[in-house]
Amino acid sequence: VQQLNIEIDGLRTVAEQDRVNRITRLKEDILLAKSIDLKAPSNSTNLIITYAGEAPTHTSDTAYLRGSLVLEAELALLKARENNDPYIEGLPILNEQLAVLKNLKPGDKLLRLAAIDNYAVVPETPVKPKKLLLILLGAVLGLILGVFGILVKEWWMRSALDRKAVNSL
């Protein structure tokens, strides 16, 4: 729970800083648009657009071409925004995980304490494979597979002879 709270707080802090930075850039773009007396978006066909993800975004160098009215409206929206949560990617998933963890009660069957009765101890001598046991095990398995193979072959040959006998009648 504490780790999720830290992560959520970090995302909110970054989102707030992004909002403040965007407000600063918009103020500069508004000043530039007003200095060239551009109120409405430019109809320029040379408008530079970069693509980030799927939605086109204007570069910061050309944002003033959107016009001072549009930029002032966006600035007003950013200043009026009280909560950045809807604009933080991944926050709903973290909030959902946090809600699930907070709803768990200490008596739930999902939560059980583990007790360690003995700690792992490194053996004094390294564990080595028992060669004789492995050889005997290999021989027994080989014998079983060999006998099984012979039985399958005999069954196959008998069924082939039976088919020939039936076909010859």
Please report, as a single letter, which amino acid is at residue 127. V
What pLDDT score was predicted for residue 144?
A: 98
Q: How far apart are CA 85 and CA 16, in angstroms?
A: 10
What pLDDT score was predicted for residue 82?
A: 87
What pLDDT score was predicted for residue 148?
A: 98
> Given phi > 0 = left and psi -120 to 50 = alpha, else beta, which region is 41?
beta
User: pLDDT tens-digit profile of 62-103?
Assistant: 777 888 888 899 999 999 888 888 888 888 898 888 888 888
Specify the CATH number for 2-103; select among 1.10.287, 1.10.3470, 2.30.29, 1.10.1660.
1.10.287
What pLDDT score was predicted for residue 106?
A: 65
Angle at 16 between CA 14 and CA 19, to 5 degrees: 110
What pLDDT score was predicted for residue 15?
A: 92
The stretches in the chain having pLDDT less than 70 are 42-61, 106-113
What pLDDT score was predicted for residue 112?
A: 64
Contacts for 94 with CB less than 8 Å, ≥ 6 apart:
4, 7, 8, 11
For the chain, the domains span 2-103, 132-169
What pLDDT score was predicted for residue 48?
A: 53
